[in-house]
Amino acid sequence: MTFGFAPSSAAATSTSAASANAVARVLEPAEWAAAGIPLLRNPREVVSGLHARHRPKPSTAIVAVLDVDERLCASASFTRRPAPADGWMFRNALLDQLRRVIPHDLRRRTPVRTAVLLYCRDGDARWTEEDGAWMWGLRDACTLHGLRCGAYITLTRDGWQVLGEGRGGRRPNSTSAPEPFATSETPPPPPRTGGATSEVLSRVAAR
């Protein structure tokens, strides 16, 4: 913050460079579509299940890990901080949540599990630069945790949409009541026992 004087040229250059780096940490829709993101077999089941578990409000991000049969292994939700959209910061936040709820798969030659991200936000379903930053963050977090990068889904007042695929629906949306697990057809994962890590997995971290 400045008080009555202009920033130095060095400070201005530094700020300009930081802004350029932040812009670079954004994926455009065409880049995302060309990245070979695996398609969800039944995205509505995934969205309804995560919506029922975490009951997101605007600015809530939900990262979930699915097995090869698209069953939920673990999920975590957290609130996005009020700061400029930055893929690097989003990557760190997602990676922190993944490390809390599920072990990494870095020892595998080929990733088996897939991470998907559902972000509840204000506005309409059209792509925004904030979405691009989340896409960048999800892709990078998956690489660092040994996971396949899966779908990025937005949840707005208009409904849900899998960006880059053109698939979506009106319910659930950011204002709708959660559906029971019985109707979402995505049962909660079985409880696990045997240690602190298992306890975190069984209760599905919500942050």
**CA 168 to CA 17: how far, in whole Å?**
37
Give the pLDDT confidence of 2-20 residue by residue, as tens digits.
333 333 334 333 334 444 4
Compute the mean pLDDT over every residue in the chain, rounded to the nearest whole number. Answer: 81
Sheet holding 72-79, edge to edge: 72-79, 60-66, 114-120, 148-156, 159-162, 167-169
CA–CA gap between residue 41 and residue 3 (Å, rounded): 56
pLDDT value, residue 175: 93
For 19-68, the pLDDT digits (tens) are 444 556 999 999 998 888 999 999 999 999 999 999 999 999 999 999 99
Could you tell me where the DSSP H helices lie in the chain? 9-24, 29-33, 43-54, 87-101, 129-145, 181-184, 196-203
Q: Where are the domains of the chain?
A: 30-203
Confidence of residue 89 (pLDDT cuts 50, 70, 90): very high
Calculate mean pLDDT across residues 66-82: 95
Please name the residue that has the structure tokens 């009555």. Answer: 4
- In CATH, the architecture of 30-203 is 3-Layer(aba) Sandwich (3.40)
CB 102 within 8 A of CB 74: yes
* Residue 180, both tokens: 């029971």
Say how far residue 8 (Cα) sits from the centre of its chain: 38
Chain centroid to CA 86: how far? Answer: 13
Pairing of strands 72-79, 148-156: unpaired
pTM: 0.78
Residue type, 4: G
CA separation for the pair 94, 141 (Å, rounded): 6
